[in-house]
Amino acid sequence: MGRTIPSFRLACMAEELKWRGFRSCLDKDDRKKFDEMFSVSRQYNSACSNSARPIIIHSIIMAIILHHYKQLMGLMKKNCNNIVSKKQNQSGR
C-alpha cells in the first residue's frame, strides 16, 4: 500500500528548502550555524513523525529546542559540579 503523506524525513527536507531564502540572506558563518541547527532536528525524525503535527516546522523547532535544552542542562550540571569541587578543594586546605 502506498503512503498518503510523505515521510517526515522528506517533509523535513522540503521544509528546509522553504527556508533557503532566509538562509541566503545570512552571512557565511550564520549560514553554517543555521545548517547545523536544522541538521540537529534530523536526530529526532522518529519522534517528529509520531507527533502528527500538520505544520512540519513546529516539530522541527521543538526538536531543535529539545536538543539545545539538553545541551544547556548538561552545561549547567557540569558548571555546578565544578563549583562544588572548587568549594570542597578550598575547604579541604
What pLDDT was estimated at residue 81? 87
More confident residue, 88 or 35: 35
CB 42 within 8 A of CB 12: yes
- CA distance to 4, 73, per residue, from 1 (Å): 9, 43
What pLDDT was estimated at residue 1? 55
What pLDDT was estimated at residue 58? 92
> Tens digits of per-residue pLDDT, 46-74?
888 887 777 889 999 999 999 999 999 99
For the entire predicted model, the pTM comes to 0.70
